[in-house]
Structure 1
Amino acid sequence: RETERSGFSPFSPGPPSSPLLHSSDQQVAAAAAQEGQNSRGVKRLPRLLMATLNDSFLADLDELSDNEDHVPDEVEADLGDLEDDVDGDFADIEALNYDDLDSVSKLQKTQRYVDIMQKVEDALQKGQDVPSYGITLEDDPEYQLIVDCNTLSVDIENEIIIIHNFIRDNYRLKFPELESLVHHPIDYARVVKKIGNEMDLTLVDLEGLLPSAIIMVVSVTASTTSGKPLPEENLKKTIDACDRALVLDLDKKKVLDFVESRMGYIAPNLSAILGSAAAAKLMGTAGGLSALAKMPSCNVQILGAKRKNLAGFSTATSQFRVGYLEQTEIFQSTPPSLRIRACRLLAGKSTLAARVDATRGDHTGKTGRDLREAIRKKIEKRQEPPPAKQPKPLPVPDSEPKKKKRGGRRLRKMKERYAVTDMRKLANRMLFGVPEESSLG
């Protein structure tokens, strides 16, 4: 019945018309079905259908190729420019020599770097000027210099990372395990410059460069390392890279000192909470006051945090991740058990103060001092001991009449369950003066 409803029977001369096939395709399919009455025609039916589908697909591809011939000239020009840009980028990458330090590190030779450092040195020698609150912050040239200094400090940090990778790749042949023991780039550069090509680290004094525990681990690891002495040329490149990284670190400190000396004018509320030094470091790492104001407090909390390597020691006494906020006076004066709470409070209030300073809401710093006082009160509140438990006096005997316990269905059921029945009374009954009959059965 279903074959009759569908209009197609295995004994019918042709297949039903399909909306997916064109009229010509339907005619070919009908002819193939007519031929399919014999066994050879049945075998040819799938082949003919595939042939018609292939023809339709080829026709569609021809139409697409015809459309591609009419591409506008502007699109062709854009595609040509894109290909030229890609080829130029690949050419620059191929021309870059990773064995040459000057081709890897180019920041110190840029005119922008030289100009900003010259202005910073002149400003540090001249001293701090009287701030001019009459003009807007964006029009003040000193503020523009501070913004440039914040951007430059981020660029210096990135350049130090690039030089650190260069030093690590060259010194890996001498001491491959050192990069997993000393993570900070400046510390790594100092240690590499101190060790040099020396294979016996007992002759090298690393005191003052690393903690005592890390020095011990480095010495033990160096005694079993598989590294070999570097050639003189590679060693010279590595030492030059270390010197360049240390010079960049000194320039970064100069920039931060300049920003710190102007923090009372640029960010008075943030300086009132954290102090000028910590506020300048936060601004330098974040990339400016506006960037710091847009940053969430959870990210402000870890700005400047170093990756700590315990070298197999216990993590029970290790400190949580905290950056420049640990250098503040509030954090240092807080007991260790409450420092996590204090760090979160400092991060949240510092973000609010940075937003006030970014909008020039209060140039007197009163908002920052109020926020600092609020942090202190919350920490002091946390340090207060819990209230002592007051002794509860005993009640006066028979001072109040006994309360009648309420009865109910549960109480009645319980009394009925444990009540002495008449049968139990008769079972335990004994007459006076009459001997009891007993048996030992």
Structure 2
Amino acid sequence: MITVISLIVFITSYIIIISEKVDRTLVAGTGGVLLLLFGVFDTKKAFITYIDWNTIALLFAMMILVSIVSKTGVFEFIAIFLAQKVKGYGVSILFMISIVTALGSALLANVTTVLLLVPIMFKIIKVLNVSAFPYLIAIILSANIGGTATLIGDPPNLMIGQAVEHLTFNAFLVHLSPIAVIIFILIVVAIAATFRKRLQVSEENRLTLMSLNPKQYLKKDATLVPSLSVLGLTIFSFVLHPFLHIELTSLALGGAILLMLLTHTYHPTEEVLKEVDWATLFFFMGLFLLVGGLEEVGIIDEFARSMIYFTEGDLPRTAILILWITGLFSGVIDNIPFVAAMIPVILEFQDYGMTNLDPLWWSLALGACLGGNGTLLGASSNLVVVGLAIKEKVQIQFIDFMKIGIPVVLISLILSTLYIYFRYLLAFIPH
């Protein structure tokens, strides 16, 4: 009975969220509370086991950093400077922001990257008076594809790297970055071609942009240097994360607290906290509880095990099935709990005589990261972009995104299948 309740609450909540008839934060929160009331799990387990406080705290810290830094005008400066470098042409700006997003997501984690870049993108959009939708889509897709390439780019990769000792930062770079680059180029070109009419900038707006002086937007007060210094230090610490052996969340919280201490006389703490996107944070909490309900009753774990047993231990079949099932599943729910369920299952394959599990790990990583592009609920960074867009009075409809996201995921998985097959599995196919 508990299993049925958990499944009904999950499916109903997702349908309502996708329909966008009711506020998503309220729906996710209601679903989470219903699971508590029906006894699927207790409050202790809900708050300690299923809510990913690392993700919540990382988002919270980066929201504080972005809020304070944005008051210096540095985002306007960077936006105008970059847009002028590509002469203010809409398609060129799309390529520029996509490349920066992908690189940033590979080095800083995709959630952090979108929190920094989306405010910059909105400054450019306002000056050029163009549609925000194509650029936000490009940022979401580029963040997930770029995050696929490295150990720290996307949480599933980090989880896999922590579980398998020999899968280092360099290993992820060598094995996943080639296919990530191929998919990125293909998808960004396709997005530019699809939205080329909506990317056209009027000559008047382009000339207006080119005539601006970026430096005029910088507020050269006592908060400028501390804000830029702490933000730079935090980002640098993210890059050094593999060597510092300090969690990203701890580094982000340290940066946020330090900046609040240095600027509190100009930006009171209560004012900074008011600008945190609390709705997005609580939406994540509700979402974690909804997925936690499936995990608590064993649905995710049983699904993962059934998938593995279906292949009867055949490595090529198992690798391809993991890639596709993970990719499609990650488009529906957050990929973190699914990857957490899959890791011990894959490790069990050593007991069946499989000595080389690496193809399975790469399939899991590619499916989890690339599958996040399927829907707005597929990855944490997607939801962060939606939250930032709502603050700017821009709506990204779930259905509109799915029309783009699902074909992108299918193309990505087809290319990944060919990559996995020819690079890792060909030797295991009987001839």
Report the TM-score, using the length of structure 1 for normalisation: 0.24
Report the TM-score, using the length of structure 2 for normalisation: 0.24
Structure with larger RCO (C-alpha < 8 A, sep 6+) = 2
The higher radius of gyration belongs to 1
Compare the two structures and name the one with the higher helix fraction: 2
